[in-house]
Structure 1
Amino acid sequence: MKILHVTPFFYPAWAYGGIPRLSFHLAAEQARQGHTVHVVTTDALDENRRQKETRFTVEGVEVRVYRNLSNRAAYHLQLFTPRGLFEERGRVRDYDILHIHGHRNFLNTGMAAWAREAGVPAVLMPNGTLVNIERRRALKAIYDILFGRRQVRAAAAFVAVAEVEKRQFLEAGIPAEKIAVIPNGVALDTDDAGIRFAEKFNLPGRYLLYLGKITPRKGIEHLIAALPLLKDRELCLAAAGNDMGHLAFLKKLVKKLGLDSRVFFPGLVTGPDKAAAYKGAVLTVYPSRDEIFGLVPWESILCGAPVIVAAGSGSEEWVGGARAGTVVPYGSPSALAEAINRNDPQAAAEQVKRGRAFWQERLAWPQVARETLAWYAKIKS
């Protein structure tokens, strides 16, 4: 099968969160399983850097890169404006299927329209972005009226990464027969290169870990507010991730609560630093709402660190369903503190063990890629 993945950010644009990692691992695994896999993306890497290469190959996947008019607009507004994309219009018909990652951007909207024009089925995998939540909601609503709804109607099929996302699709009027629930795969190089995270990032001692983008919906403020309620007053928090406009608020909260000596913001961590962060943590806490899947808890489990996640999310569905972590109500510092206070190393180790077994069965990339390819085949039949 000849597959084209379409995503506004791709390897190695890790500052953009889960979608660049997920699209990369899925494309690479499909290539390993013998398919011809290409990617169309933009040059967005992070707030300050762009991808310099316009064509490159990684893990057997050929990647075509289009330069955004503004990297700043791409990062801060998620406004992707790929110059020269029109040349892809004539190439779309060469593929058996388009797999579109994310929603509400000109790259995906244009490619979806050309796929429909060419009679090539497009699979839309929003990964939590179909619903209008969090920032810039008015702009998103306008985009939906002008382009987004049309793109949804044009899609041949959809991938939901959890039942909670499938319900969102159904509420949006998408027919059930067009939806497959396929979890995200999880992969992480667990080699920490001997790094001691606490020492490298000047933490005073034992720490809780939050890892992910610094945005309002992640619930980091509730975790910070839980610290004064902990029995262990020496336990600190490392909130590691790139700032998407919420860091200043969190720093003011830390100062207000007098927690300057217990809360640290190491920034985006990747590679061995990331593995070391998980391995050194007492617990990884992921208190996010509207989390359609949640890669971080599973990465933590692969590194042997127990996890706490928030209820009412895809994290609860997968982590809680596998009995691989502790689930607490979203937005409750007292519930977070209670869960942290009662953490039992033996029970936590059992949770991690169950989580690893579940990952091997359902979330390892070879299995996820096979499920996705089977969905493509059904769409094509």
Structure 2
Amino acid sequence: MKIVYVALGFGRNDNLGGSVRVAAQNAIALVEAGHEVLFLCTNRKDRHDKLFNNIHSVIIDGVEVIYLNTVCIPFWPGDFGPHYVSIPDWVVEKIKEYQIIHLHEFRSYLSYRLTEIGNKFSIPVLMYPQGTFLQHNRKGILKKSYDFFLLKSIKKYKYFIACTKSEALDFEKNGINRDSIIILPNGIR
């Protein structure tokens, strides 16, 4: 199968946390299992610094990784904040060759854009938020404002992937259709 993986980073030389490392490990495991994986992520080390000045493409452990040029707001509160990711036409053409888009970031412009691209070209989009879905904690107000703008995207996902039964229940309690929820624990090895 040809799979597009999407996360804020690839987990090499960045400070973007565990979810990007999980996404990268899963992408590598899929390549080892015989799948073709295109991994799209930002070119950021963190909100303040870039890993690469522009778009950068490289093969890492059999995964084609494209670091997309990304602009962030450095003074924004929170971990990463609002960002804009430039997706050139040649990358869109490459995406059209794939069978599924697998998102690892719930509230990101990159996920929003890939959802739109997937729907435009009838490529199923899976959302794997890895614990980032709920609006609780000190970031709740920010998350609610993101959700207001991204609500249409939620309806465009083929499946929501939960890591646990409790996360699946959280999805249901927040309006996600039970039939579109799949439980898949972290790791595929």
Higher helix share: 1
Superposition map of 1:96-175 within 5 A: 96-147=99-150, 149-175=151-177
Which SS does the other structure have where 2:138 is aligned? coil
Paired residue total: 186
Residue 151 of structure 1 and its aligned partner are, at CA, apart by 1.5
- Give the gaps of 5 or more residues in structure 2: none
Residue 67 of structure 1 and its aligned partner are, at CA, apart by 2.2
Equivalent residue number for residue 25 of structure 1 = 25
Measured against aligned partners, the alpha-carbon deviations of 1:163-187 in whole angstroms (never above 9, x if no partner) come to 11000111122222211111112xx
* Equivalent AA in structure 2 for residue 57 of structure 1: I
TM-score w.r.t. structure 2 length?
A: 0.88
Equivalent residue number for residue 50 of structure 1 = 50
Tell me which structure has the larger Cα radius of gyration.
1
Contact kept, 8 Å, 2:72 with 2:84, in 1: the verdict is no
C-alpha separation between the residues in 2 aligned to 1:56 and 1:156? 29
Residue 23 of structure 1 and its aligned partner are, at CA, apart by 0.4
Residue 62 of structure 1 and its aligned partner are, at CA, apart by 0.4
Equivalent residue number for residue 242 of structure 1 = none
C-alpha separation between the residues in 2 aligned to 1:76 and 1:44? 15
Higher strand share: 2
C-alpha separation between the residues in 2 aligned to 1:83 and 1:47? 13
Measured against aligned partners, the alpha-carbon deviations of 1:342-372 in whole angstroms (never above 9, x if no partner) come to xxxxxxxxxxxxxxxxxxxxxxx42xxxxxx
Equivalent residue number for residue 63 of structure 2 = 61
* Equivalent AA in structure 1 for residue 19 of structure 2: I
* Equivalent AA in structure 2 for residue 8 of structure 1: L
C-alpha separation between the residues in 2 aligned to 1:40 and 1:82? 14
Over 3 Å counting, the alpha-carbon distance change for 1:13 and 1:103 in structure 2 is farther
Q: 39-48 or 168-177: which moved more? A: 39-48
Residue 73 of structure 1 and its aligned partner are, at CA, apart by 5.5
C-alpha separation between the residues in 1 aligned to 2:93 and 2:73? 26
Measured against aligned partners, the alpha-carbon deviations of 1:199-218 in whole angstroms (never above 9, x if no partner) come to xxxxxxxxxxxxxxxxxxxx
Equivalent residue number for residue 11 of structure 1 = 11
C-alpha separation between the residues in 1 aligned to 2:49 and 2:108? 20
Bigger RCO (CA 8 Å, 6+ sep): 2
Tell me if 1:184 matches 2:180: no
TM-score w.r.t. structure 1 length?
A: 0.46
Equivalent residue number for residue 316 of structure 1 = none
Superposition map of 1:69-80 within 5 A: 69-70=71-72, 72=74, 76-80=78-82
Measured against aligned partners, the alpha-carbon deviations of 1:41-99 in whole angstroms (never above 9, x if no partner) come to 00122365422271111110001111222373589452253442253444332110000
